[in-house]
């Protein structure tokens, strides 16, 4: 279990850092007629995503905090403890986090990253190993013509994170965010 957590943590850190190991996929491109006409009905998703992943200020402005689903951890005695998913706990996301890809690892496991819902006003992106817990799930909704993140799950706050490690994990997220903000204000 500890090895799996360590491997998943490494993978998520690599994704946040933009590790080229998993960046051989392509960025999201519109594929339907509905997406081709988005500009006439509101903000274009590709333009939004480009700004979202390259500007911390823009990213924070386009997330509906607190997110719909709270962070849920399990205590040692099996009880669930929830925390609102707030701005202070949000890990800033890069373009590398949204690469659509299917990568087969040496040991045979398959890492999938793709949009599982791709509608004109609602998109959901998921990344993780097949037959395993997700590393990342982000829900985008177009509200009054503008795209926003309304929900997210990520490996920083996975279910197997011990409750007593939560504060330290939030601190680590904030450190990573500080680095992102320096590069992408």
CA 71 to each of CA 64, 67, 75: distance values in angstroms, whole numbers, following the listed order: 15, 9, 13
Higher pLDDT, 92 or 21: 92
Q: What is the pLDDT of residues 38-56, one digit of tens each?
A: 445 799 999 999 999 999 9
- Burial (Cβ within 10 Å: 0-12, 13-18, ≥19) of residue 168: exposed
Rounded mean pLDDT of 33-40? 50
- pLDDT at 123 > cutoff 80: yes
d(Cα 150, Cα 169) in Å, to the nearest integer? 22
Note the pTM of the prediction, 2 decimals: 0.78
Phi and psi for 93 in degrees, rounded to 5? -105, 145
Q: What is the pLDDT of residues 130-144, one digit of tens each?
A: 989 899 999 999 999
- What is the per-residue pLDDT for 7? 43
CA 128 to each of CA 94, 103, 114, 143: distance values in angstroms, whole numbers, following the listed order: 16, 10, 10, 27
Q: What is the pLDDT of residues 61-119, one digit of tens each?
A: 999 999 999 999 999 898 999 999 999 999 999 999 999 999 999 999 999 999 999 99
- What is the per-residue pLDDT for 38? 46
* Structure confidence at residue 183 as a pLDDT band (50, 70, 90): very high
Rounded mean pLDDT of 139-159? 97
Higher pLDDT, 2 or 165: 165
Summary mean pLDDT of the chain:
85
Query: Domain 2-183: which topology?
Result: Nuclear Transport Factor 2; Chain: A, (3.10.450)
Higher pLDDT, 50 or 18: 50
- What is the per-residue pLDDT for 24? 34
d(Cα 119, Cα 70) in Å, to the nearest integer? 24
- What is the per-residue pLDDT for 141? 98
- What is the per-residue pLDDT for 32? 56
């Amino acid at each position: 279990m500890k090895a799996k957590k360590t491997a998943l943590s490494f993978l998520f850190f690599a994704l946040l850092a933009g590790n080229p190991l998993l960046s051989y996929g392509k960025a999201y491109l519109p594929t339907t007629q509905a997406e081709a006409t988005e500009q006439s009905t509101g903000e274009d998703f590709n333009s939004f995503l480009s700004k979202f992943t390259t500007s911390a200020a823009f990213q924070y402005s386009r997330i509906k905090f607190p997110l719909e689903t709270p962070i849920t951890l399990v205590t040692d005695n099996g009880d669930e403890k929830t925390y609102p998913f707030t701005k202070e706990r949000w890990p800033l996301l890069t373009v590398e986090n949204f690469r659509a890809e299917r990568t087969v690892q040496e040991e045979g496991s398959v890492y999938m990253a793709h949009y599982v819902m791709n509608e004109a006003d609602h998109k959901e992106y998921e990344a993780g190993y097949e037959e395993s817990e997700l590393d990342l799930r982000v829900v985008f909704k177009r509200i009054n013509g503008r795209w926003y993140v309304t929900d997210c799950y990520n490996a920083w706050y996975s279910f197997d994170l011990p409750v007593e490690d939560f504060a330290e994990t939030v601190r680590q997220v904030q450190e990573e965010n500080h680095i992102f903000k320096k590069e992408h204000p």
